[in-house]
Structure 1
Amino acid sequence: MNRAAFTPLQNTALPHSFRQVRLERAREHDHPEGTSAIGYIIVAPLDTASRIDIGTWNDHRDACRVVRQRPGEDDQRGHLVHGPANRWRFHYDVAGATADEAGFHFGSERFQLGEYVSVREADGMHPYRVVAVTPL
């Protein structure tokens, strides 16, 4: 397992706009009450409107991270990656075989407490609720 590509973050070296955002699976057919056991932790810079700040992301790409959490599985760690057409995806480049997942309209979504976002996973699109946004 190559951990050299995933060095620990030095919080003091990052701009103050960096936040840790926790997403938890929202209500849907298989989870009528939602579930906190299925989620993501995203570390990314947010602008004053609580959107991902692409300029700061560009300057600190390696610090923009994601952790995918599923019950009964090891956490999958990777990076928040920006691509064409203002599309964001989670790239799991550390270990495991999890395919990239895409944030649906992450470029325009607001990462504020109580907001909902969608993530395209291997089995389709799923809703998530922002349950925490904290400074690093």
Structure 2
Amino acid sequence: MALSKTHQPASRRFPEGFAKVRLRLAREHGHPQGSPEHGYDLVMPLDNAGCIDGKLWKSHRDLCRVVHYRSGEEHDLGHLVRQPGGQWKFHYDIKGDEGDPQGYHFTDERFVVGEYISVIEDDGPHTYRVVTVERL
């Protein structure tokens, strides 16, 4: 029997405002239909408009996670971090050997289904589409 959110142990709950966001590669050269096998799964705090809640992030940084996956490659695991000046990036301190991808204007982006989000990776910028947002 599965436990409901209200009956889960305290260690499994997230503070109000946290969401799991799934990004999938949008159309681009080499992927004219996009790719469900290239993307990010993010756990992060969002405000009511779907923007990153910086205040909630600051008080719960350890909960803000990222999984980056690509077809045929091992997943990269890390955290959502904020740089001085307010830019957001993914830091693969858990697993991963490439540089830290940076969100392009993440401060202004809305993480809502159907929106497009740009991420600057080692090989340049890529556009991802928000395909799901699940409040935790």
Same fold (TM over 0.5): yes
Which residue number in structure 1 is paired with residue 28 of structure 2? 28
What is the distance in 2 between the residues matched to 1:117 and 1:105?
Answer: 9
Give the CA deviation at 1:26.
0.3
* Correspondence 1:83 to 2:83: yes
What is the distance in 1 between the residues matched to 2:95 and 2:134?
Answer: 26
User: Is contact 1:37-1:70 (8 Å) kept?
Assistant: yes
Give the CA deviation at 1:95.
2.2
Which residue number in structure 1 is paired with residue 6 of structure 2? none
What is the distance in 2 between the residues matched to 1:85 and 1:20?
Answer: 25
**Counterparts in 2 of 1:1-136, with a 5 A limit?**
10-12=11-13, 14-136=14-136
Give the CA deviation at 1:15.
1.4
Deviations 1:52-93 (A, max 9, x none): 000000000000000001111111100000112220000000
What is the distance in 1 between the residues matched to 2:64 and 2:11?
Answer: 12
User: Is contact 1:76-1:98 (8 Å) kept?
Assistant: no
Unmatched segments (≥5 aa) in structure 1: 1-8
Counterpart of 2:125 in 1: which secondary structure? strand
Larger Rg: 2
Give the CA deviation at 1:96.
3.0
Aligned-residue identity in percent = 51
What is the distance in 2 between the residues matched to 1:10 and 1:79?
Answer: 18
Q: TM-score with structure 2 length normalisation?
A: 0.90
Runs of 4+ in 1 over 3 A off after TM superposition: none
Give the CA deviation at 1:16.
1.6
Q: TM-score with structure 1 length normalisation?
A: 0.90
